[in-house]
Amino acid sequence: MRVPRIAYFGPQGTFTEQAASRFEGELVPFETIPLAVAAVRDGSADLACVPIENSVEGAVPVTLDVLVRDEPVVAVAETVLDVKFSVLVRPGTTEIRTIASHPHALAQVREWIAATLPGATAIATSSTAAAAAAVERGEFDAAVSAPVAVNHYELDEYATDVLDVPDARTRFLLLRRPGQLPEPTGADRTSVVVTTPNRVGVLSELLTELALRGINLTGLESRPQKGKLGTYRFYIDVEGHIAEPRIGDALAALHRHSREIRFLGSFPKADHEPVEAHNAEFAAAASWVDAVRKGERG
């Protein structure tokens, strides 16, 4: 049986590599998130592992944007990593004047840098591993990187377990082209992105449809539509699976309120916490309506 190719946001030595290694497949690094997802769309990779949100810095905008561009992709799994950084330097380094990393990483260690390296200039790079590679080449003095990076680059650990906020975590999605969905597990998440008309109360209408069906909202993000000032897309995560009557009914209602809706997947939650579904009540109600339509009940 062929081993699936998993594209991931690289290069080697990123947190995304750590996340991708939890799934079975051949890991293939790509320089950016859009390139990793494009590899799935063009068939050069079977799956893509990308970061979607961080508990400190929130959603990853580039991932949100790439999910609605071009041909659809859907999430079939998620995983969550605890985040703690290592600060890596070239052997023999005694002074740190520049420290580089991905902007999300720099934001999560801002206080540590100010307290520990007050004279250092923080510089943004395309990824934490790209920062480590640049330090190895001599372009910067230090890199804020995933701990795994020390296994890929000829660098020493200046500091470990670096983080301003304890218990920070990052969630990653495993994406593929549309096809057979994962079976419901009773502990699932469903994601959609909704493009709405520009009218008063439209977001309230969407949320009301969820609340009326007893559906727990686990994520809500807005992103502007490119080139149209004041118009937005809403990224919505809920507990449950599209195979469940109440989730399917809710998505149909969101479709009625939207100009466009894109399904982003139904998949097992990383925490495996069971979802209170109320599916029996929805099934009973649907059976009653069907019986009334057939003249079998009043």
Instruction: Indicate the burial class of 167 (C-beta count within 10 angstroms; 0-12, 13-18, 19 or more).
Output: exposed
Nearest Cα to 170, choosing from 109, 80, 110?
A: 80
Q: How many C-alpha atoms does 237 have within 13 Å on its Cβ side?
A: 17
The DSSP call for residue 3 is P
Q: How many C-alpha atoms does 68 have within 13 Å on its Cβ side?
A: 21
Q: How many C-alpha atoms does 271 have within 13 Å on its Cβ side?
A: 10
- Do the bridges between strand 260-268 and strand 26-30 make them parallel or antiparallel, or are there none, so unpaired? unpaired
Is the peptide bond preceding residue 147 cis, with omega within 30 degrees of 0? Answer: no
Phi-psi region of 261 (alpha: psi -120 to 50; beta: other; left: phi over 0): beta
The amino acid at residue 8 is Y
Q: Which one of the listed residues 63, 170, 190, 196 is annotated catalytic?
A: 170
Structure tokens at 99: 């420290």
Q: Cα separation of 220 and 236, whole Å?
A: 5
Q: What radius of gyration do the chain's Cα atoms show?
A: 22
Q: Cα separation of 276 and 95, whole Å?
A: 55
Q: Which one of the listed residues 9, 85, 140, 172 is annotated catalytic?
A: 172
Phi-psi region of 272 (alpha: psi -120 to 50; beta: other; left: phi over 0): left
Q: Convert 261-271 to b/e letters by CB count within 10 Å (16 or more is b).
A: bbbbbbbbbbe
State the CB neighbour count (10 A cutoff) for residue 31. Answer: 14
Known catalytic residue at 170: yes
Structure tokens at 75: 């999430």
Q: Catalytic positions, please? A: 170, 172
